[in-house]
């Protein structure tokens, strides 16, 4: 099996949190506004990371692929899917804001379906093309731009990415980022995620 790329690791983390959100909402005890507020906060963290990821693709990855001869039709499909995801995530955020105010159940399945479709499409259509450029100076320049974040932002990203990460994904991450670096970022700069977000996903679902 081919080791996941950094892009694949991010996709896995997105799927993980969307699955967590769906599990937290089904079933739902009406009136639990405090729990709704915590889920709203946790989803905002996921939405922020996914938005940052897609902005990086729009600014750096798509132009790189266009320069290698990838068809504009395919890149236009990806951009259209980004727009659809943005709308679906905004709708889910609005539902969760209502949940936090009223405690009435929200539905995350629409966002999960739209996001999942795009992640699958991107991995099937673009990952093989990107792998052809791994190790080249041009692709290293692109990944350097994608990874450029403030220490605090990088720490939150690292904590989010590694929260509940699968063993195979952790091994792939270690191949690209030294474990001491990941550890420092997660424990020091990623404390906000560990304090405010990760515990929300570990709360038992009320049946």
pLDDT, residue 29, reads 84
Q: Quick one: what percent of the chain has pLDDT higher than 70?
A: 98
List % helix, strand, coil for the chain (3-state, nearest 5): 80, 0, 20
Predicted confidence (pLDDT) per residue in 40-78, tens digit: 999 999 999 999 999 999 999 999 999 999 999 999 999
The per-residue pLDDT for 148 is: 86
Residue 152 has pLDDT above 90, yes or no: no
Distance of alpha carbon 169 from alpha carbon 13, whole angstroms: 10
Q: How confident is the model at residue 114 (pLDDT cuts 50, 70, 90)?
A: very high
- Cα dist. 67→20, 24, 71, 76 in Å? 38, 43, 10, 14
| Average model confidence (pLDDT) across the chain | 90
pTM score, two decimals? 0.90
Query: Token pair of 57, please?
Result: 């693709």
For residue 179, what pLDDT band results from cuts at 50, 70 and 90? confident
DSSP the chain: -PPPPHHHHHHHHHHHHHHHHHHHHSS--TT-HHHHHHHHHHHHHHHHHHHHHHHHIIIIIHHHHHHTT--HHHHHHHHHHHHHHHHHHHHHHHHHHHHHHH------HHHHHHHHHHHHHHHHHTHHHHHTTTTSHHHHHHHHHHH---HHHHHHHHHHHHTT--HHHHHHHHHHS-HHHHHHIIIIITHHIIIIIHHHHTSPPP-
Q: Which pLDDT tens digit goes with each residue over 81-102?
A: 999 999 999 999 999 999 999 9
Q: Whose CA is closest to 163, among 13, 23, 59?
A: 13
């Amino acid at each position: 099996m081919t080791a996941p790329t950094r892009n694949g690791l991010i996709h896995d983390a997105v799927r993980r949190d969307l699955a967590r959100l769906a599990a937290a909402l089904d079933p739902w005890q009406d009136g639990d506004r405090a729990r709704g507020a915590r889920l709203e906060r946790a989803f905002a963290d996921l939405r922020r990371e996914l938005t940052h990821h897609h902005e990086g693709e729009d600014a750096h990855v798509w132009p790189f692929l266009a320069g290698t001869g990838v068809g504009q039709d395919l890149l236009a499909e990806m951009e259209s899917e980004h727009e659809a995801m943005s709308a679906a995530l905004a709708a889910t955020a609005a539902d969760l804001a209502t949940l936090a105010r009223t405690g009435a159940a929200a539905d995350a399945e629409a966002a999960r379906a739209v996001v999942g479709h795009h992640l699958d499409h991107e991995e099937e259509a673009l990952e093989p093309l990107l792998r052809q450029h791994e190790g080249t100076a041009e692709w290293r320049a692109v990944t350097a731009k994608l990874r450029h974040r403030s220490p605090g932002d990088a720490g939150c990203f690292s904590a989010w990415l590694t929260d509940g990460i699968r063993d195979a994904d952790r091994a792939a991450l270690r191949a690209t980022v030294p474990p001491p670096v990941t550890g420092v970022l997660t424990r020091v700069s990623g404390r906000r995620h560990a304090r405010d977000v990760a515990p929300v996903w570990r709360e038992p679902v009320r049946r």
